[in-house]
Structure 1
Amino acid sequence: RDLNRSFPGKPDSNTTSRVAHRLWNKIISGSDLVIDLHTAAVGRTNMPQIRANLADRPSNRIARSFGIETILDNVGPKGSLRKTANDAGIGAITYEGGGSNEADPESVQVAIYGVLNVLRSLKVLPGYPSRPRFRILASGSVWIRSDQGGLLDVLTPAGSFVEDGETVATVTDPERPGESYDILSPTRGLLISTATHPFVNAGTPIGHLLPVTRGVRTLNKRLDQEGCLVTSGSDGEPPWRED
């Protein structure tokens, strides 16, 4: 069971719910703020991003002070730590980066950078938090799905900026060598997550897209040679300013 769909948990339910209950009552419920560090689910990888309910003032503050470009604005799913904390009056954000069962160096570096930024903004640590050159504040997103099953070849990694109609992946039927099906981006935007499993079924999500309609020129200046967004904190920038 998913721990992040089990909060605040129950003391007499299944194992996952009991763990959530103990974490919530022994540690989290007495907190002022929460930063929940996550990777993508099995079979996917995420570019570094923050998820927060920006209508909640404490959550908004730490989401922005984390210091990276991409923030998804939503209330969070039922049973998630973030939503449960917000419902209890605790500011909370979720950081997503990398994939499961691995320690992606870039995602870890950005996570450290962001946590230090938040601690500096709260005056827990001395110094000033770094700020990104721009922000992408998104309240909506689009899942790109395969319409047929087969072997998946993702052509645009997580973090890629793609155009409307661009081929983001292909699916090949093992029973029909040489034939492939192109999966196209439904709009211009930033791929915040892509599939990593080599086999997909019809309906399987292969990408999570944030539509981008403004600030494209500024965004293009922060793309690397592969067309991927260089997230603040991942390219050797210091995690604080000394001025």
Structure 2
Amino acid sequence: MNRPREPFRVGPLVAEAGTLSSGYCSVEIDEEVLELPVVIVHGEKPGPILAVTAGVHGGEYVSMVALREFVFDLDPLAIQGTVIASLRSNPLAFFKRTPFVNPMDGENLNRAFPGHPNGGPTGRLAYWLWSNIISRSNYYVDCHSGDIPEVLDNYACVSNVGTSDVNDASLRMASQFDVPRVVLVDTEGTSTTEASRAGIPSVLIEVGGEGKWSPSDVAVQREGLDRLLKISGLLDDDSEARAPLPPFQSHGVMCESSGLWFGHVLPGSPVEAGALLGIVRDPFGAMLQEARSPVPGVLIYRISSLAVNSGDLIASIATPVNVAEPH
């Protein structure tokens, strides 16, 4: 006789087989209690676990709208396995409209994984997300967009620190999203780098930005997540194989002096090595920096705000991985 499928638990939430459970998980950090909205869709039949996070950066709204739509349209009686979703993973940054960092300590949550139970506020939040959601999965997606002062040309990111099997599976995940390219990264402390290192195929998807969201941007993430259900085995896969995304590497351009930023090139535009991307000026109009492309490629990211600070990443150029960097 078949034993009934065990319920799935995240914090106080319990989802019986064939049901959806949603609610808040409390993360106590110093004198703050962060309330993370979490959804569990626990299929009637066993299968893989897909974890999805959104809102790791508080002003990246496309991700939060797309994940909410995706998870509440799932039928727990139809899927084989479990979906765990953290709908707004950095709540204080969201409500304070703080880009890039957790306002509790000024740290970037997506440089803090896998976190530590005795770390600072951001390290402890990362640890909760890692231990309760990400590390429990067989597949992981981190949904992002450009933050409040960022504009970009949509792309996926895949870490190249895993085994060849993990990296190949991650690239297949990336190809489920209708974006022009996948950028290969190995940045320490990001959710997907640490997931890949732990043997979990994973992808970070970047769509939209500037503190806005549109139905078309939401659809890119939402439809990609729908396709992931099939290739991960949570739904029967009756779709045609999708072509892999062309792999790229990124080259950052840093701000050298705080001031006023006047960007000249729109994301998605091809640029030559040495092309002028924008100028930083002081309040009186004197030029502080000419920001130029270090390589030929495509501009995939730039700051869209007038204000920039020394040390900011103000632009990023993507080049195909089979193109040698200049010496």
| TM-score over 0.5 for the pair | yes
Say whether 1:57 aligns with 2:168: yes
Question: Pairwise mapping of residues 23-102 of structure 1 onto structure 2 (< 5 A)?
Answer: 23-41=129-147, 43-54=149-160, 55=164, 56-75=167-186, 77-99=187-209, 101-102=211-212
Return the TM-score normalized by structure 1: 0.71
Q: Quick one: structure 1 residues 129 and 30, their matched pair in 2 at CA, closer, same or farther if it must change by over 3 Å?
A: farther
Residues 48 and 107 in structure 1, CA contact (< 8 A), matched pair in contact too: no
Residues 177 and 220 in structure 2, CA contact (< 8 A), matched pair in contact too: no
Letter in 2 for 1:2: N
Q: Which residue of 1 aligns with 2:319?
A: 211
Q: Quick one: structure 1 residues 28 and 161, their matched pair in 2 at CA, closer, same or farther if it must change by over 3 Å?
A: same
Return the TM-score normalized by structure 2: 0.55
Kindly report the root-mean-square deviation, in angstroms, between the aligned alpha carbons of the 2 structures.
3.1
Q: Using CA pairs below 8 Å that are at least 6 residues apart, which structure has the higher relative contact order?
A: 1
Residue identity (%): 27
Q: Which residue of 1 aligns with 2:104?
A: none
- C-alpha deviations, 1:36-65, integer Å up to 9, x for none? 111235532332111113542322321233
Say whether 1:157 aligns with 2:263: no
Unaligned runs of 5+ in 2: 1-106
Q: Which residue of 2 aligns with 1:167?
A: 276
Distance 1:121 1:41 in 2: 29
- C-alpha deviations, 1:152-210, integer Å up to 9, x for none? 22222222222344332233443247x79654333321111011120235554321001
Distance 1:88 1:61 in 2: 18
Q: Which residue of 2 aligns with 1:197?
A: 305
Letter in 2 for 1:60: L
Distance 2:198 2:322 in 1: 35
Q: Quick one: structure 1 residues 197 and 154, their matched pair in 2 at CA, closer, same or farther if it must change by over 3 Å?
A: same
Residues 59 and 93 in structure 1, CA contact (< 8 A), matched pair in contact too: yes
Structure ranking higher in strand proportion? 2
Residues 58 and 90 in structure 1, CA contact (< 8 A), matched pair in contact too: no
Distance 1:105 1:118 in 2: 20
Shift of 1:150: 3.6
Shift of 1:127: 4.2
Residues 151 and 174 in structure 1, CA contact (< 8 A), matched pair in contact too: yes
Residues 154 and 168 in structure 1, CA contact (< 8 A), matched pair in contact too: yes
Secondary structure of 1:98's counterpart equals coil
Residues 11 and 18 in structure 1, CA contact (< 8 A), matched pair in contact too: yes
Say whether 1:13 aligns with 2:124: no
Unaligned runs of 5+ in 1: 216-243
Runs of 4+ deviating beyond 6 Å: none
Distance 1:28 1:214 in 2: 32
Partner of residue 4 from structure 1, selected from 106, 110, 121: 110
Distance 1:145 1:214 in 2: 24
Distance 2:176 2:296 in 1: 27
Aligned length: 211
Say whether 1:114 aligns with 2:256: no
